[in-house]
Amino acid sequence: MRSTPCAALLALAALLAACSQASRHETPAIDLPATWKTLPAANAAPEGWISADQAARPLAADWWRGWQDPVLSALMEQAAAHNQTVAAAAASVRQAQALLEQQQAALWPTLGLQGSQQRSGGDARAAGGSGSLNLSASWAPDLWGRAASAASAQAAAVQASQADLAAARLAAQASLAQSYFTLREADAELALLDDIIEGYERSAAIAQRRFESGTVARTDALQAQNTLESARASRAALERNRHLAENAIAALTGQPAAAFSLPPARSLHDWQRALPAIPVDMPATLLLRRPDVAAAERAVAAANARIGVARAAWFPTLNLNASAGGSGATLADVISAPQLLWSLGLNLAQTLFDAGARSAAEKQAIAAHEQAAAAYRQRALTAMKEVQDQLATLQTLARQQRYAAASAENAAAIEQQMLNRYRAGLVAYTEVVTAQASALTARRSLMQLQLQRQQAAIALIQALGGGWQTPQQAPQ
């Protein structure tokens, strides 16, 4: 071929390589409310969360430091370094990035070099040699944007995997914080039951002495002993719950459960600290702060790019190749030869009949895009539901805790009064048992409500994205 037509063809291929059959990606539209329905006025905000317009700064990525618990912070650092679920998600990101590099490499020409040197001889002929050296190049110009669309789809998949990594990290952090506060609440309840059991032991001893002296019936002694054994059984159940929470923390921090232990806190009231302030984003902002929502949006972008890949299959493909080389007695002769052999060529191919395969592939890509868009909308709706759930939970738990505190205080007073009246011989021991059971239930319920508030605050932070923000800009 002449060089002028080849140069013109190369220039035309370069221009056409900018074409793309994919439509411009647009984030699926969602009807969003202006605010949350349970977001009260500024002066009525419950403890533990504030509205976004009042927040001095957005939610921090190290949100757990708001509890000012050094043990929790140390566990978070261990989880960041050794959690295997997060490590697997990080490896998935690296795989996606490697696949993107492969897709991008398809846009460039490939070069090849082949050289050989042979020497032969025999008894009846003189020894001789031959050498060859060939340089080849080939390029399939991306005339209709097929390779570029595939690379765009994989780039969106990389961003989705990065968001999945952030979601895995946030889930591990939230699970660790939940398990940690569950363990601390168990410690507090165990300390409470230790005090209760000590008091029950004294009551059982009193009832036994009064029975032996003939003052009361044997029923009183049996009831006192039954109350004591019931409290001991509750303590054993709490020990099991603590072990389970401790084992969960071990797994989340990448440690064997058999080799991990966490001693009780020095102060059993540390876990009951007031909730940290949590700035609550508006619904529209939430979509940029949730990694799972961002991953779903990137899946829509990838599906849109794959439509371009399917549409590009309707157009012809062009392959360009070139080679140069020569042969001689040795490789040195080949390199120094005044003339080398060269060739240029092209191959143009177009599918004329495929029984509807390309049409079906395009329909499948369009349907996949619609599916991804619907999944994104559902993920966004679920995210807003989760935030709304936790806002309502925190609001009601704050009221519940106030009522439960008053109930526990009253139940403790009744218990003491009944015990004093029993010692004075004014009431039967049945009334003491009833008062003790009510007081214990009220005090444990108060602790469990405090745990629920801590866990709801963590769930709200997770629902808000844990301080994560989408790194990518709007697609161009």
Residue 388 · residue 37 · CB < 8 Å: yes
In percent, how much of the chain has pLDDT > 70? 84
Residue 48 · residue 278 · CB < 8 Å: yes
Contacts of residues 439-443 at CB distance under 8 Å and 24 or more positions apart, as own/partner, are: 439/408, 439/411, 439/412, 439/414, 439/415, 440/196, 440/231, 441/411, 442/404, 442/407, 442/408, 442/410, 442/411, 442/412, 443/192, 443/408, 443/411, 443/412
Q: How confident is the model at residue 426 (pLDDT cuts 50, 70, 90)?
A: confident
Return the pLDDT at 217.
82
Return the pLDDT at 474.
38
Helix (H, G, I), strand (E, B) or coil at 133: strand
Structure tokens at 462: 């997770």
Q: How confident is the model at residue 41 (pLDDT cuts 50, 70, 90)?
A: very low
**Which DSSP symbol is given to 268?**
T
Q: How confident is the model at residue 4 (pLDDT cuts 50, 70, 90)?
A: low
pLDDT tens digits, residue range 119-134? 776 666 666 677 778 8
Return the pLDDT at 476.
32
Task: Name which residue leads in pLDDT, 214 or 18.
Answer: 214
Return the pLDDT at 170.
95
The Cα–Cα gap between 365 and 370 comes to 9
The Cα–Cα gap between 410 and 404 comes to 10
Task: Name which residue leads in pLDDT, 185 or 328.
Answer: 185
Q: How confident is the model at residue 211 (pLDDT cuts 50, 70, 90)?
A: confident
The Cα–Cα gap between 149 and 164 comes to 22
pLDDT tens digits, residue range 266-282? 665 666 667 888 887 77
The Cα–Cα gap between 452 and 185 comes to 10
Return the pLDDT at 215.
79
Return the pLDDT at 14.
53
Return the pLDDT at 166.
93
Return the pLDDT at 11.
56
Instruction: Examine the pLDDT at 335 and tell me if it is beyond 70.
Output: no
- Work out the mean pLDDT of the chain and round it to a whole number: 84
Return the pLDDT at 52.
41
Radius of gyration of the chain (CA): 37
Task: Name which residue leads in pLDDT, 324 or 10.
Answer: 324
Task: Name which residue leads in pLDDT, 53 or 407.
Answer: 407
- Kindly report the pTM of this predicted structure: 0.82
Return the pLDDT at 268.
58
Strand 125-139 versus strand 279-280 pairing type: unpaired
Residue 220 · residue 207 · CB < 8 Å: yes
The Cα–Cα gap between 363 and 366 comes to 5
* Orientation angle between helical segments 70-82 and 146-212, nearest 10 degrees: 140
Structure tokens at 327: 């042969």
Q: Which whole number is the average pLDDT over 152-164?
A: 92
Task: Name which residue leads in pLDDT, 289 or 242.
Answer: 242
Q: How confident is the model at residue 475 (pLDDT cuts 50, 70, 90)?
A: very low
Instruction: Examine the pLDDT at 9 and tell me if it is beyond 60.
Output: no
**Which DSSP symbol is given to 121?**
E
Out of 51-55, 155-159, 252-256, 354-358, pick the least confident: 51-55
Q: Which whole number is the average pLDDT over 170-178?
A: 95
Return the pLDDT at 80.
93
Instruction: Examine the pLDDT at 247 and tell me if it is beyond 70.
Output: yes
Q: How confident is the model at residue 331 (pLDDT cuts 50, 70, 90)?
A: low
Return the pLDDT at 93.
94
Q: Best-predicted range by mean pLDDT among 112-121, 243-252, 279-288?
A: 243-252
Out of 16-25, 292-301, 384-393, 405-414, pick the least confident: 16-25
Residue carrying the six token digits 């504030």: 50
